[in-house]
Amino acid sequence: MRRARRLLGLAGRIAGANLRRPGLPLKLTFILTYVCDCRCAMCNIWKRRDKGGMTAEEVDRFFGSHTGFPWVNLSGGEIFAHPEIDGILAAVARTNRGIYLVDFPTTGQRTERIVPSVERLLGYSPPRVMVTVSLDGPGAKHDEIRGRRGAFENCLRTFQALRGLRAKNLFVYFGVTLSRFNRGELFAIFESVRERIPGIRYGDFHVNLAQESAHYYQNVGLGLPPEHEALRDIDEFLRRKGRSFHPVAFLESTYQRLLGKFLRTRRCPLPCAALHSSLFIDPHWTVFPCSMWDAPLGNLRDAGFSLDRLWNSAETLARRAEVVAEKCPHCWTPCEAYQTILANLGRTLPGC
């Protein structure tokens, strides 16, 4: 019953966001730490300093000050490298009333820590927990891209262990990021997994495109794969995966279907939802419009962890006006695209 109520609450807020700017965002992206297990070729987060990062007590205080956010995305770095990850997960799931979805990626390198932590999170009964285990190449190629020997084996081990929890509210996927470092490898990645995990399906993979960000990834110039190769692989992936009417499949397929428009124009293919339905919070509680735009709006520590004033401040509203006028850095990453799709259902639903 609680799960149904929260789903209805989320659906109502999504519907409202298609009509007007919500009083508070539907989705929060928390970057818990810049510390990472890997040294990825397409990302420089692991080079960043992390001193003075957020604590579990601060996360608990933040959620205790608000009535609830239906969707919380946690990321890093590697979130399971945070020394207080269990306390943070507890604060998100226990204190945040009204939550429907908690989702996060993981490098999958700390199986012995990841699996018990996820199991404890499930004990708080959030309606939906989604984990994406990052996988960027078959076998040794993944190890090379991630800069860590044994990364591929650890990734598969973590995926299988999480799937082994068999919780109804847990959904586990592989996440493949296409970049110039793994061009043409998408289906080799799938086959390398199928050899080890019989019964794996294309629907068990989330596929996205590498993006550049000055303030988050700090990877400007490392970048995107050649346009024709990315589109060819995405189109074939969609064909092999087939249609599905599951909401997650709808979001992913819509994101992938619109990648071609983004690659041709280098502009967001839908009116962006940054500062309308979502915002981005870094490990030091600095708020940004999104993961791509280096435009800090203030610091929640300085604001006593109250988001209300910052969300409706003149500076935030001015930045939102710039987003509407398409004066922001344009991107099409799932971290920003999924809530943008939900805020534009009239443009994206079949038949619209």
The DSSP bridge partners found for residue 102 are 72, 129
CB 205, CB 256: distance < 8 Å: no
- Cβ proximity of 292 and 333 under 8 Å: yes
Residues 6+ apart with CB under 8 A from 185: 137, 138, 141
pLDDT of residue 352: 46
Coil, strand or helix: which one is 175?
A: strand
Chain segment 293-343, per-residue pLDDT in tens: 999 999 999 999 999 999 999 999 999 999 999 999 999 999 999 999 988
Please provide residue 278's backbone torsions phi and psi, each rounded to the nearest 5 degrees: -155, 165
| Phi, psi (rounded to 5 degrees) for 181 | -85, -20
Q: What is the pLDDT of residue 94?
A: 87
Please report which helix (H) or strand (E) contains residue 336, including its range: helix 334-342
For residue 20, what pLDDT is reported? 83
How far apart CA 229 and CA 234 sit, in angstroms, is 9
Phi/psi for 130 (5° steps) reads -120, 125
Q: What span, in angstroms and rounded, lies between the C-alpha atoms of 262 and 249? A: 20
Which segments of the chain have a pLDDT < 50? 352
pTM of the model: 0.93
